[in-house]
Structure 1
Amino acid sequence: MNDNEKQVTQENQQTVEKLQQEKTELLGYLKELKAQFENYKKDSLREREQIIKNANEYFLTKLIPILDDMDRAFKEVEQSHSYKNFYKGVELIYKKLWKILNDEGFFKIEVKEKFDPFEHEAVEKIETNEHEEYSILKVLENGYKFHSKIVKPVKVQVAIKPRGGESAKTE
């Protein structure tokens, strides 16, 4: 082997060693980055759980006065044996509860005359010529929104045009 070949071989050996060293450094960096990412995922999950727990605690503390009012209402009816005052008290508590829920972005869906598939669920269809098709005849169950998201659609009875000769009820 001549000097030129020895020098090329030596340079190649140095390059291989340098590349192996860089590979080892990069693998170490990748392992460290992977471990940091795994820790980040765990921390993020823990933080999300804590946020949910804090939000629930915040909301539940807003409901404590409602529970206290209900306790007072039950004690009042036990002592006075009058359901008239109990009814009025429960009615006030109900309004107070709805104020808390509304303040948090929870609302009862207001029903209009026409069926809206985004807010309503037609659970009963009545064949009739007396009403415009897809008009709401009756609210069977209330529906609710949380901010703009429907959490429970309004269950309704809707009018449809008769398919045959006479009006008939179908489900």
Structure 2
Amino acid sequence: MNENEKQVTQENQQTVEKLQQEKEELLRFTKELKAQFENYKKDVLREREQILKNANEYLLTKLIPVLDDMDRAFKDVEQSHSYKTFYKGVELIYKKLWKILNDEGFFKIEVKDKFDPFEHEAVERVETTEHEEYSILKVIENGYKFHNKIVKPVKVQVAIKPRGEQSAKTE
């Protein structure tokens, strides 16, 4: 082997060693980055759980006076045996509860005359000619929104045209 070939081989060897070193550095960096990312994911999950816990605690703290009022109402009816005042008391507590819920962005869906598939769920259809088609005849269960997001649709009874009437018009 001549001097020139030795030098090329030595340079190649140095290049291989340098590349191997860079590869090991990159692997070490990649492992470290992966570990940091895993820790970040755990931290975010822990933080999200803590936020949820704090939000629940906040709402529950606001509901404590309602529970206290209910306790007082039950004690009062046991002592006075007056269900008329008990009813009035529970009515006031109910209004207080709704005030708290409304302040937090929770609302009862107001039902209008026409069926709205975004806010209502038709659980019963009634064939009738007395009402306009898709008119709401009856509210079966109330529905609720939380910050304009439907959390439970209103369950309603809806008017539809009688089946015989539709086929008679097409004949």
TM-score range, shorter chain: over 0.9
Matches within 5 A, 1:124-163: 124-163=124-163
Residue aligned with 2:112, SS = coil
Whichever residue aligns with residue 64 of structure 2, its letter is I
TM-score by length of 2: 0.95
**4+ runs deviating over 6 angstroms:** none
Q: Is there any run of 5+ residues in structure 2 with no aligned partner, and where?
A: 166-171
After superposition, give the CA deviation of every residue in 1:68-97 in whole Å (9 maximum; x if it has no partner): 000000010011000011000000000000
Matches within 5 A, 1:12-161: 12-161=12-161
**C-alpha displacement of 1:152:** 0.5
**C-alpha displacement of 1:42:** 0.8
Q: Is there any run of 5+ residues in structure 1 with no aligned partner, and where?
A: 166-171
Q: How many residues get paired?
A: 165
TM-score by length of 1: 0.95
After superposition, give the CA deviation of every residue in 1:85-121 in whole Å (9 maximum; x if it has no partner): 1000000000000000000000000001000000000
CA distance in 2, matches of 1:43, 1:147: 28
After superposition, give the CA deviation of every residue in 1:124-170 in whole Å (9 maximum; x if it has no partner): 000011111101011111000011110100000000000025xxxxx
CA RMSD of aligned residues (A): 0.7
**C-alpha displacement of 1:4:** 1.1
Residue aligned with 1:145, SS = strand
Pick the structure with more helix per residue. Answer: 2
Residue aligned with 1:117, SS = coil
Whichever residue aligns with residue 16 of structure 2, its letter is V
